[in-house]
Structure 1
């Protein structure tokens, strides 16, 4: 697959997890099977509240002597502090990697994985790890000085690609607002249903097997400027959704949002801006109230 140029991506921050208990500790905290993640490979995962709400979604890279977590830079402090609480007697150390960062590149076409990818294609060159996401885009992890320079055009293209692919990234504005299935994390391999217990596991499993999630992702165009975390309302002024990610267009905003299934055919607005739904990443025929 051919990719565009790469750019440093300031949106992301990194946490280094070291110590001999690092894998089992993260396995017990995150939604994916970290115990069986091969060295020099990566996976997607979520960290959740006890009620199953996603605190952060992330990329997890298992290196030889440590594990690196990539997540929204706005959540690295929060994530580190929350994980720190549960270390107790475990031999684990958490450090925010201030000299390391991430770069992104976009494929020329959108790809969709037919099955959840619990281990992502990963390569390493000169201490830079390149990880291919299920949507075909690539994230590089390495020392910031060794990564490609910032390119605003590439960043906008990457944001557009993630949004149109239905690949959400949780930030401080949207933390603890959605369960994993509302964000389709189970479809891309971020949630492993056979790995055992972790915070929120019971809620997430019940939602999966009993079909209790009544909100999902939608791609929408908005005739104005909006920001992540802004609520979406129907024509009865009832709150029916939330903006997760957005990218500005010439005269509008393209956004990825979580909305009620039952609101898919409704007239929607955000900050008094009119919303046109371009695509639902769920079956809009499910119109039960949520």
Structure 2
């Protein structure tokens, strides 16, 4: 790591970041958070878009510089190996994913490039990523971005980097600013004068509140995209053509109403690991689902997205964390409606 790329992690080590955002939410609902746990792959070359188009669940071929999209990478059995935020800037297409997955996923994608004129590069260390959320963000970002993307998954590029609006949470806009370490460090004092500087936990919690699931190392190859509502939030394009697992993903839609989905829940527990199983009172011996993502929202409780048999959430059934004797989950409405795509809609 050279001197330029090492300054961002060294800078972050010197900052004091609040760990529990809920404690501060009543007085400071708008925040920014560094996201060093996210990795970044840059795909370049004249065949980069067409290559990724054949690998990912979403349309890459028609991705414009003013857009960002969610996308997944599936195994041949249709199970998600990773979920991405993707965008195009300059001559490259960027794929953002958890850093713990990046090396293996990049190596796997590299295997399939073959004769395509495309290159994949790890550009994580050359960038700083900030997550920003709340109504005060627009004013805080004005020195660098006088105009903001006006809808989720819109993107603006300028000399200060890329600003992507992602899914809203709790009715408030959220953004990612991908920039150079030098720009992020220079912007920090002004940002922190109007926004609270929080840890990445705050951002992960906002992702859960937005209903956006992320595959991690613990949950690789556990879910077809629909099991975490990925097609509902725009991560799957059913008309784009083939990619690994595409037949199974499409068949899951053609079969009709899906029996497993991601739901939002709270529970009186903290330190909950992804892939922790949950159990229902109507079949206490067998798990009915598992935690996808979970974050503490207070000193004693957590908010989580979990994949579950929908039947286990109906008819007065109770669902418990870890075992039937574990703490009971309380379900909440997602910020979007679950609409199953019909056969007619897929073929339209």
Is 1:227 matched with 2:273?
A: yes
Q: Calculate the TM-score normalised by the size of structure 2.
A: 0.72
- The equivalent of 1:141 in structure 2 is 178
Distance 1:180 1:99 in 2: 31
Distance 2:152 2:71 in 1: 11
- The equivalent of 2:285 in structure 1 is 237
Q: Calculate the TM-score normalised by the size of structure 1.
A: 0.86
Superposed counterparts of 1:1-290, under 5 Å: 4-97=30-123, 98-108=125-135, 120-135=153-168, 136-147=173-184, 153=198, 155-211=200-256, 213-225=258-270, 226-235=272-281, 236-248=284-296, 249-265=298-314, 266-272=317-323, 273-279=326-332, 281=334
Aligned residues: 273
Hey, which bits of structure 1, 4+ residues long, moved more than 4 A? 148-152, 280-283
Partner SS, residue 328 of structure 2: strand
Shift of 1:212: 5.7
**Structure 1 residues 133-142 or 7-16, which shifts more?**
133-142
Distance 1:119 1:92 in 2: 29
Gaps of 5+ in 1: 110-117, 284-290
Instruction: Answer whether contact 1:31 1:191 (CA < 8 A) is retained.
Output: yes
- The equivalent of 1:286 in structure 2 is none
Partner SS, residue 64 of structure 2: coil
Larger radius of gyration: 2
Root mean square deviation of aligned Cα: 2.4
Shift of 1:60: 0.9
Shift of 1:204: 1.2
> 1:240-287: per-residue Cα shift (whole Å, max 9, x none)?
11111111122122111111111114322223531223225577xxxx
